[in-house]
Every structure is written in C-alpha cells, then in structure tokens.
Amino acid sequence: MISVHGFPESLAQAGALADALGGVLSRVETHRFADGETLPRVTAPEPHAVLYRSLHDPNAKLIETLLTADALRRAGARRLTLVTPYLPYLRQDQVFEAGQALSRDVVLPLLADGFDAIVVVDPHLHRTARLEDVAPQTRWIPLSGAEAMGRALAAEDGGAFDLVVGPDRESLQWARALAEALHLPVWTFDKKRLSDRDVSLEAPAGAAAGGARVLLVDDVCSSGGTLAKAAEVLMALGASRIEAAVTHALYDSAAALMLEEAGVRALRSCDGCLHPSNAFPLAAPIAAALRREFAL
Ligand code: R5P
C-alpha cells in the first residue's frame, strides 16, 4: 500500500496521483510560529510514502519539505519518494560570475539526503548531464511533460496547428515530441539571453511561418520574455495564429499581458506548478513511472 501526502495548495494534484496509484491521500498540516518558523505534521504513512510538492517559489517550501520528510520517517515510512514536478535551482548550474554560489550543488544534495527516490518533470539539464552526477545518494526519476501535452493536443481537433516551433535549441526535445504527436513540421530558434527578462532570437535560414498556425513549445515560461520574443518574431514572419504549451508555468499576470500583446492567443501548461494556465494533468505519467520503478 502507498500513501500520498500533499500540502493544501496542491492537494488536488496529490489526490489525482493517489487515485492513479490506488493509494491513500493524506494532508500535511503546517503550524506557523510567531517568529516565522514552521512545523509540518503528517498522519500515519503507509510503508511507501510519497510526498507531493512542486518546488517552484522554493525557499520556504524547501525547509518544509525536508522537515516533512523527517516527520514521515519518524511516523513509520520505510520508503520515501518525493514527487516534485518542478525541481528548482538548476539554472545556476555553474558559477557564471565571481562571488556567486553554485546553487544546484547546494540544493540537490539537500533534497537527495531526505528521500529514497525523487520524481521530477523536465528538469533544467542544459549543462548537467545527469542529476545522479550532482546528488548520487537518491534515485532520480526524470519524466517529460511532452507526453501529457502531446496526448491531450492530439486528442483535440487534429488540424488546429500547421507548425511547431521551439524558442531555443534546448527546446527541440519537447517541440519534436509534440510535432511527432501532431504530425507537423518543427524548427527552433537560436536564442541568446541578454538579461533575466530579455533574449534575442534568430530563426534558422529558410525557416518559414507565413500563414501558419503555430504551436510554440518550451519547458518553462518564467518572465515570459522568451515566448513573447518568439511570438513577435513569428508574427513578423507572417504567422496567422500563435498558441503555446509549456511544462512549467511560473509567470505572473504582467507577463500574461505581455504574452497576449506579443500575439500569444493561448498558453497551456502541465499541472505540476499550480497556475491558471494548467491544462495537461501529470498524474497518469507520474503514476506510471512510479509503478514501473517500484513494480507497484
Ligand atoms: C531556458 O533555458 C528555458 O528553457 C526557458 O526558455 C526559459 O527558462 C524561459 O524563461 P523566461 O520566460 O524568463 O524567458
């Protein structure tokens, strides 16, 4: 038997995972002291306990997650798995400028020490070959959101798009997966990051978008700068309609407005990070991965 433990903000996703696994859903309660410290409390776990917590907006959640792991073990969990669709602090995967921290190498081992296995969705692995290389003390189970996006989009009206575009070379893996699911051509921009919110994009020689209904695909939408610039360039190339699909939606309402003004008519995301754009449920692929991994 398995129990899935969720915090109030993402109890719906934890519940969907518990249902998909045929497990029991349990709510983690958190007491907040006057000085700002927090104390999570769990109800008795099954021998295999799964803690569901997406670690976007991570700082406070990281401490609570580690404390909850300790609480679950003390309450009797013998195997402890963390499901964190969004794994934070991977963008700082090297010291880019003197005086900076190497965040990835601080945060990943902390999490890995607390759990026997960790499920993540589309971790930002641009310069990190394998999560095991950074934190070998746990079993990392990486998944892609492209499967959930592709299945949902293919089940809709098959003729909604003419072309799939990724905003940078790293996005080719997701763009290609969706292009295959929808039987469409695909290409990606070449991206140069200018600042936290600004990028420059170059379309490949001969890339065409004239009259096309384009599906833009990426792993993350954070400031919205990347997808907004991609939409602007695609509109200039003559695209007739632009929608976007991302695994992790981290953007705020100002970015949503900017995306709309740039020409993005709709943006849909996987439901790992709670967001108004959530449209692609991850419970089934996460449950399938856990069943495969632990022969459940
Ligand atoms: C970058 O490597 C990622 O794949 C995304 O393109 C990036 O994180 C998007 O960030 P933003 O929305 O801030 O441009």
Residues above pLDDT 70, as percent of the chain = 99
Break the chain into its structural domains and give their ranges: 2-143, 146-280
Residue located nearest, by CA, to atom 8 of ligand 1 = 220
Residue 128 pLDDT: 86
Query: Residue 168 — φ and ψ, nearest 5°?
Result: -150, 170
Residue located nearest, by CA, to atom 3 of ligand 1 = 220
CA of 98 to the centre of ligand 1 (A): 23
Which has the higher per-residue pLDDT, 96 or 128?
Answer: 96
Mean pLDDT of 152-176: 92
Question: Concatenated DSSP letters for 101-155?
Answer: --HHHHHHHHHHHH-SEEEEES---SS-S-HHHH-TTSEEEEE-THHHHHHHHHH
Establish whether 191 is a catalytic residue: yes
CA of 222 to the centre of ligand 1 (A): 6
CA of 167 to the centre of ligand 1 (A): 9
CA of 37 to the centre of ligand 1 (A): 32
pLDDT of 159 strictly over 90: no
228-272 per-position pLDDT tens digit: 999 999 999 999 999 999 999 999 999 999 999 999 999 999 999
Instruction: Choose which residue among 91, 171, 226, 232 to substitute to test ligand 1 binding: the one with the highest number of ligand atoms within 8 A of its C-beta.
Output: 226
Distance, in Å, from the CA atom of 227 to the CA atom of 109, rounded to the nearest integer, reads: 32
Instruction: Tell me whether domains 2-143 and 146-280 share a fold.
Output: yes
36 dihedral zone (left: phi>0; alpha: psi -120 to 50; beta): left
Instruction: Choose which residue among 89, 221, 229 to substitute to test ligand 1 binding: the one with the highest number of ligand atoms within 8 A of its C-beta.
Output: 221
Mean pLDDT of the chain: 96
Residue in the structure block whose two tokens are 């958190």? 30
What is the SS3 assignment for 33?
Answer: coil
pLDDT of 27 strictly over 70: yes
Which ligand 1 atom minimizes the distance to the CA of 170?
4
61-119 per-position pLDDT tens digit: 999 999 999 999 999 999 999 999 999 999 999 999 999 999 999 999 999 999 999 99
Radius of gyration of the chain (CA): 20
The beta strands (E) that lie in the chain are given as 2-6, 24-27, 29-32, 38-41, 48-52, 79-83, 117-121, 139-143, 163-166, 186-188, 190-193, 199-202, 213-221, 241-249, 264-270, 278-280
Nearest-CA neighbor of 18 among 66, 44, 52?
52
Residues above pLDDT 90, as percent of the chain = 94
Which ligand 1 atom minimizes the distance to the CA of 251?
12
CA of 172 to the centre of ligand 1 (A): 13
CATH topology of domain 2-143: Rossmann fold (3.40.50)
Mean pLDDT of 217-222: 97
Residue 295 pLDDT: 87
pLDDT of 158 strictly over 70: no
Residue located nearest, by CA, to atom 1 of ligand 1 = 220
Residue 127 pLDDT: 85
Q: Which CATH class is domain 146-280?
A: alpha beta
